Structure 1
Amino acid sequence: MMRTPKFIALFIYYLCALTCSFPLPASSDDDADGLLRIGLKKRSLDLDTLNAARIISKDGGKYAIDLKDICSNLNGSGAGTVSPKTRLVCPKLGESDAYKVFLSNILNTRYFGEIGIGSPLQNFTVVFDTGSSNLWVLSSKCRYSINCYLHSKYISGRSSTYTKIGKNYSIIYGSRSISGFFSGDNVQMGNFIVKDQTFAEVTRERSLTLLMAEFDGIMGLGFQEKSAGNVLPIWYSMGEQGLLRDKVFSFWFNRNTEAEKAGEIIFGGVDPKHFKGKHTYIPVAQKGFWQVEMGDFLIGGRSTEICKGGCTAIVDSGTSLIAGPPEIVAQINHAIGAGGLANMECRQLVRMVGGVMMELILSQVKSGKLCSMISVCSYNSTEHERNGIEMVTDHGSQSGNKGSSHSYTLSTRGVPCAMCKMLVTLVKILLKQKDIVDYVFNYLGSLCDYMPLPRGKAFVDCNRIPDMPNVSFTIGKHSFHLTPQQYILKTGEGDATTCLSGFVPLDAPPPPPGGPLWILGDMFMQVYHTVFDFGNLQIGFAEAA
């Protein structure tokens, strides 16, 4: 009986460890400069992740079927009601495209941070997304999806500040079809508390993306005009409740891949340490998305002329790559030699086993046999080699000698036979030299380009990056340049290194004022520190530090 109090204490301790939430760590700078700083983490992307994506979304699987259902409904939807993010993953979608869509979603959820909801706090990891406008997390009432059991869920009954709303919520986000209902509660980020914020409790999430993801929801930072249910986005609420020093928020992505902090989103201002020089500000073309008017686009300093009549660019922190008009992306991918996954695996096979293949081939080549095949020599299988160099002595007059340890019977042209065998031997020696071997491997790799490729070229040869052209975006009469090192996504190490083109095709009707549509994602924002100024309805870009 003496053990009972101890048992009860341990039970309460473990129960609390499983169910209780603790305050979010706050930055010491939050109160000092009036800014809210949220550190961002970045999910890793390697070949294993890509292969897992391909396996989990095999042709004919439920994921492919769900995607087809989602995308088939777009035909009757107007441009103003369908997110370009959804159009990005749904052009002419067939079941065989499920892997590419799944990969796109994995790429598009790489940066995330921590928030808390309720009193006491229930902590969640969310993606901060300027391409959508609603805050949503999984609900405790989500029971019919495996995602419900692998991520943190909001439990309204545990919060003293919960407000019941109950209005149904449904939206297509990218290739995700999610549904649930609206609720209200306090949302905490650092030391800042946004009171009675309306958000969505998701009870159904059809995407397998969340299965492999490290986040529990999305915090939309777009405009109310694109908010499902006309709900006030959280940054509107922060401004109305007087929490912000200035009506801006800014993104900085750390290009140091070894650093613990992958980036930072700051509400209320900017950190001068995150950028160099001054920002170039461009007016928001129309409230809805964070979109600006874009001028020319250049490849290697040459105009593509696709934006001669003007283009529209949406700045989207929820998209990792850069999406653009298919005809321009085709030009870029041609210039950088981009290919599909089969192309990449072919090149990787050449690198991994090419050397062994070469050695095996050379070891099987006998000069006498080869020259006999072209009718220069007659060949007898008893020939031998000395120190790896084949005998090329003229035995034409001794072909009948019984003591001979090797037997060549020359054709009537004895000198040509000897010359042929000498040439074969020299070729074998040359083929063992590194520069020649490298040339052969590069040539074999180039043959991979002629393999049948899936739609949406993505992968490139990492060795060709220094030879690829720079590209330039003209925004607000200012040129923003990207080098190959900046628009190629490199993952893995050594022989397992994989390089992906940062450009993907987007065939979508642009929002007003029109023109071909671009989406500038994290790949662009990594190079240019980005300020979203909702007080003056403008976006600022400066070189990131």
Structure 2
Amino acid sequence: MHVSPAVFLAITMVSSCAGVVLNFPVNRANRLRATFKSFQPRQRPYRPHASTREVKELKPTPEQPAVSRRDIKLTNFNNNMVYGTIAVGTPGQELNIVFDTGPGPMWILSSHGRTHLNWENHRKYNNDSSSTYRNKHKSFAMKYDFGILGGYIGQDCVAVAGLTVENQQFGEAVVVDLDMLAKTDIDGIVGLGFRNMTRGVETNLLDNMVSQGLLPAPVFSFYLSREEEEEDGHGSTLTLGGANPDFFRGNFKFANLTAPDRWQFKMDRVQLPNGADTFGESGCEAEVVSTSSAILGPYTDVYYLNTKLGAKQILAPGPYMYEFDCSKVDWLPDVEFILNGEKLALSSKDYVIKMEKDGTIVCYSAFKGRIAYEESEEKLWTLGQVFMRGFYTYFDKGNHRIGFAKARR
């Protein structure tokens, strides 16, 4: 896995805080509200396009297929972020979207914003160009580890994976301070998690698709490919409404969720082969976050794990990072995640991150330490894209569980 240091460090910051709404300073919040208050769009009569009536009253047409799972091909951005394309409005306006397992809402860049610093190359949604747009007359604001954004809530048709979702609400971002995302091709985020922190966006895209009969169940699955597989045409894929057997082998190992609002579950421990060394014992918790590139764990556990693997802690390019001798990485052991007594073995092909530095390749560990600021984080592991490349991941909202199967290579 070969990425640039700047992107790896920036995307790692997303981690478990992606999609989490926090209260930022009052003065800054007031300035944010004042800035986008004047951007509220005009209200136009709602004119549903013809397919709305066809889908509800007639048999499915070729444009609106029968209920089944649907695949979305994803683009790999520097092996640290994956995104797909959707179309919003009538006629559809194409946007590049990150599909986030976090609990945040759907939001997209608005063409009505005047403060998109360094976002000139991004595509932006223009509600004036859509005949099916509705203004909900509500504002929203989000805070991430890497910045803030704000705007108002709109409603429109969203085309995804060949299906048209009616009455989908989303945040239209008119004030954006996300310098890290400005360096990508991303035009917005779609939250696929639970609706606990949506800041007034009342409809979740996945739930909306199920309620409108477009998907059989509130389920989605991720296959994340490695860099060399992208070149061979076996690209990353998000499957809505089920799992695609082309991307995994064997049976799923399931775990019930232990939190009401995130993809968190109980994990027995992390260990090296045969349990010679164990980390995070006594029933640690783990969560899967698709917008995190690394695997974050309790600082002490990660320190001892990396030490046993032969990695050395370094101060640059970032805190709590560890470096391997690149000549030895092919012989590193698997790291095993024990789930209900069963092993999920992650190979060094996935947990060693190769970066170019001063003309040479440097090998970093994908295991990064986290300092716990809350009691709930003391035993928490965040399993990001590095973990998801090793394991096809099945997110089952209806049954409140998550499943893992070995990714097919």
Q: TM-score, normalised by structure 2?
A: 0.77
Tell me by how many angstroms 1:155 deviates.
Answer: 0.6
State the distance in 2 between where 1:307 and 1:226 align: 31
> Residues 185 and 32 of structure 1: is their aligned pair in 2 closer, same or farther, counting only changes over 3 Å?
closer
Question: Whole-Å Cα distance in 1 between the matches of residues 159 and 375 of structure 2?
Answer: 33
For residues 310-349 of structure 1, what are the structure 2 equivalents within 5 Å?
310-335=283-308, 336-340=310-314
| Partner Cα separation in structure 2 for residue 142 and residue 459 of structure 1 | 42
1:61-86 deviations in Å (ceiling 9; x for gaps): xxxxxxxxxxxxxxxxxxxxxxxxxx
Whole-angstrom CA distance in 2 between matches of 1:498 and 1:258: 22
> 1:424 aligns to what?
none
User: RMSD of the alignment, in Å?
Assistant: 2.6
Shift of 1:243: 0.9
Query: 2:178, 2:358 → 1: CA distance?
Result: 33
Q: Does 1:195 align with 2:166?
A: yes
Aligned partner letter, 2:116: S
Measure the CA separation in 1 of the matches of 2:371 and 2:166: 40
| Code of the aligned partner of 1:527 | G
| Distance of 1:30 and 1:42 partners within structure 2 | 28
Q: 1: CA distance between counterparts of 2:289 and 2:403?
A: 13
d(CA) in 2 for partners of 1:135, 1:268: 18
Distance change (3 Å), C-alpha of 1:455 and 1:305: closer
One-letter code aligned to 1:327: T
Change (3 A) 1:475 1:33: same
Partner of residue 5, structure 2: none
SS at match of 2:196: helix
Aligned counterparts, 1:138-217, within 5 A: 138-217=109-188
Instruction: State how far apart, in whole Å, the 1-side matches of 2:125 and 2:197 are.
Output: 24
The alignment status of 1:459 with 2:314, answered yes or no, reads no
> Does the CA contact (< 8 Å) of 2:287 and 2:382 recur in 1?
yes
Give runs of aligned pairs for residues 206-245 of structure 1, distance below 5 A. Answer: 206-229=177-200, 231-245=202-216
The aligned counterpart of 1:298 is: 271
> SS at 1:225's partner residue?
coil
**1:465-480 map, 5 Å:** 465-480=329-344
The higher radius of gyration belongs to 1
**1:509 Cα deviation after fit:** 5.2
Give the secondary-structure state (helix, strand or coil) at the position aligned to 2:312: coil
Q: More deviation in 456-465 or 297-306?
A: 297-306
Residue deviations 1:175-195, cap 9 Å, x none?
221111111111110211111
1:519 alignment partner, one of 366, 377, 382? 382
* % identical equivalent positions: 31
CA contact (8 A) 2:249 2:405 kept: yes
Structure-to-structure mapping, 1:382-397, within 5 angstroms: none
CA distance in 1, matches of 2:369, 2:350: 18
Q: Distance in 1 between matches of 2:213 and 2:67?
A: 15
Name the residue aligned to 2:397.
Answer: 534
Which 5+ residue runs of structure 1 have no aligned equivalent? 1-27, 46-106, 343-452
Q: Single out whichever of 527-536 and 476-485 deviates more from structure 2.
A: 476-485
Asked whether 1:120 is paired with 2:91, we answer yes
Tell me how far 1:473 sits from its aligned partner.
1.1
1:341-372 per-position Cα deviation (integer Å, ceiling 9, x unaligned): 75xxxxxxxxxxxxxxxxxxxxxxxxxxxxxx
Note if contact 1:182-1:201 (Cα within 8 Å) is conserved in structure 2: yes
Letter in 2 for 1:320: S
CA contact (8 A) 1:138 1:148 kept: no
CA contact (8 A) 1:29 1:35 kept: no
Any idea what SS the aligned residue of 2:207 has?
Answer: helix
Corresponding position of 1:74? none
| Structure 1 or 2: more helix by fraction | 1
Cα distance in 2, alignment partners of residues 162 and 148 from structure 1: 24
Number of residue pairs aligned between Structure 1 and Structure 2: 343
Q: Which runs of 5+ in 2 are unaligned?
A: 1-61
Contact conserved, 2:119 with 2:182, CA < 8 A, in 1?
no
Measure the CA separation in 2 of the matches of 1:328 and 1:164.
Answer: 49
